[in-house]
Structure 1
């Protein structure tokens, strides 16, 4: 069986539209986290957040749909596609589907005790598929599925897409989603004391919590031979995946479950090396400590004396359900360029034995494999292994 590859990537982040501004921001060690210009919430205290710096055209789709549509369009163009082929599957990831059960949606909005909507139209609620696809659907009628696995949703969707493609159930799959800063999701993170009052500093000894961000992401997945026949990129394969709903603690603070998920993904990939990890690392005390413990264990088992580990969340914040998209993009570009980006905000790295936590771009000569970790509430654990052919 031919590899399932990532033939197209698209992003909207607090660095702006496109994969390239995001990648250059990561390589430069820059942070786009600032006090909000647009976002307001009753509990918001002025801490740094990652806001997208551009606004959709007035009268266009809501911002959440617009961010997803922009990422979707970039991913299609990167894959050399003018539109989706017949039979394609679109996996929309997010908290809730906007067009589903409109009566329940209206009741949800009416629950604010002050008579205000809990979120602006299209912010907490998921993007409408029609708004996301735009002209990219062409004359095709793609099957649209909705997945929600907390902050691991995007990586779960990539694993699911890989299985669909390997089974011959679709010629091509697109994973797409977006997040927009809103009072409901902000409150849900604040109530569990996850939000930091300063910018997120993943893996830093002085880390104090997450910074929320917003944006959109999209990935085109297909059989390598199909991509090559069209002249599209086919060098980054999704070699292994492990998606688990398990654990008696929050997934991000259960070192045993994190390590198990990584082991399963590496076993699925059948690779004999691990050159880089793009970590979940949100900047919380418990979560980062658990992931470091798991990474140390996996590195020791594989005899890796100096395993480079990066995170993007100190640069753009935590994009919640779609956070796996910038993580996968960073891992893919690390393999393509041979450079691991630093982790923005990392000033005093936690002591490690077998891990390297770069504070400046790190050259990785000959790097071929990278793992991507993504964990969420409810015991949602997901790891991918990417392989550069």
Structure 2
């Protein structure tokens, strides 16, 4: 495929995190370096660990539907749409129970309904696509949307997903000893596990031609994608696979330049180490001396299958504002050779290329290369 065929811009962003509702709250909170995680107020599944709860959910109950509808409305408004455009692709990612509360969790709860905002809208393909690739789900969905748009299926897509804190997934993370007894500290030498969070994200993606034709903002492009499903290891800790995804995304984007990397970096000892090694390899090949790297998960917790939405927002805004966000909670960074693990915001007036890394259990790994046009 030629660059013209794959030119897809990010025209709309929507986000709900423990910082609150809206992209601006997330971005300002991230730049402040103040984590939005703490003792659970609504969720009863912890044993004293910190979590990233969304403040004041509608009706006091956290639901995927409420979070999904909120971010869809935000992203469409940001893109300049009053509703989901006819003929759009809609890709939904998820694996979390729809409602947190008493009662039995069923398989339909785990899948959850499609966003109510698309009801009655004519969709490309006739129905929403549903994807689940563990914690890399949202990145895989962006990659699929880009491929389908390059193939002429549609010229606009909505990618959306949500997660709520729930006993099922919390127990599964505790079972594999992934949860920090304190709080996540990505890339810190004293890190000891993840902090689980909740929230949602939505992206409006459009071909550059469509966006330009309606005078919509199209300054950041999904320039490259690398996705791999490798069954060699159950955990998201295969350095060769992660490096391969980064290589593929950069090659797809036609560059070896990395001005910023928004890392997956959950705060586990092994996972963070593997990701650092993969990024070091990429930096070494390109000759970069100090690639800036940070992660949002010390701020909001890990949103599991929806975790790539805050990462994409952070990388997109970093390129738009030319300001790179830090890793909240990072006090004692791991030593690195060609990377700079950021503890404070940094201006980056010439930043044009950013990597977003997303990794998941079961060998699900992905990388997105974003480029400022």
Q: TM-score, normalised by structure 2?
A: 0.94
SS at match of 2:330: coil
Partner of 1:5: 9
Cα-to-partner distance string for 1:364-388 (whole Å, 9 max, x where unaligned)? 1210000000000110010000000
Q: Which residue of 2 aligns with 1:81?
A: 81
1:274-318 CA distance string (max 9 Å, x none): 101000000000000110111111100110001000100000000
Deviation per residue, 1:59-111 (Å, 9 max, x gap): xx96211001100110000110112222211100011697xxxxxxxxxx9xx
Alignment partner, residue 69 of structure 2: 69
Give me the whole-angstrom Cα distance separating, in 1, the residues matched to 2:167 and 2:96.
15
Moved over 2 A (4+): 116-122, 124-127, 136-143
TM-score normalized with structure 1 length: 0.90
In structure 2, the partner of 1:101 is none
Against the structure 1 CA distance between its residues 353 and 372, is the aligned structure 2 distance closer, same or farther, given a 3 Å change threshold? same
Alignment partner for residue 321 of structure 2, among 329, 333, 337?
337
Matches within 5 A, 1:224-263: 224-263=208-247
Q: For residues 280-295 of structure 1, what are the structure 2 equivalents within 5 Å?
A: 280-295=264-279
1:117 and 2:121 aligned: no
TM superposition shift of 1:251:
4.9
**Cα gap change, 1:251 to 1:224, in 2 (>3 Å):** farther
Q: How far apart are 1:239 and its partner, in Å?
A: 0.4
| 1:52 aligned residue | 54
How far does residue 140 in structure 1 lie from its aligned partner after superposition?
3.4
TM-superposition CA deviations, 1:305-341 (whole Å, max 9, x none): 0100010000000000110110000000011111111
CA contact (8 A) 1:278 1:310 kept: yes
In the alignment, is the contact (CA less than 8 A) between 1:273 and 1:302 conserved in 2? yes
* Secondary structure of 2:56's aligned partner: coil
Q: Deviations over 1:206-242 (max 9, x none)?
A: 0010000000100011101211222221011000001
Q: CA deviation at 1:267?
A: 0.6
CA contact (8 A) 2:90 2:123 kept: no
Q: In the alignment, which residue of structure 2 is the partner of 1:190? A: 174
Q: Matched residues in 1 for 2:90 and 2:96: separation?
A: 16
Give the alignment partner of residue 300 of structure 1, picking from 284, 289, 292: 284
Q: CA deviation at 1:117?
A: 3.0
In 2: Cα distance, 1:32 partner to 1:20 partner = 14
Q: CA deviation at 1:272?
A: 3.8
Match of 2:116 in 1: 133
Distance 2:269 2:157 in 1: 36
Q: How many Å apart are 1:359 and its aligned residue?
A: 0.6
Instruction: After TM superposition, give the deviation of residue 362 of structure 1 in Å.
Output: 1.1
* Aligned residue number for residue 362 of structure 2: 378
Gaps of 5+ in 2: none
Segments of structure 1 that go 5 or more residues without pairing to the other structure are 99-108, 110-115
Aligned length: 365
Q: What is the rounded CA distance, in whole Å, between the counterparts of 2:246 and 2:235 in structure 1?
A: 13
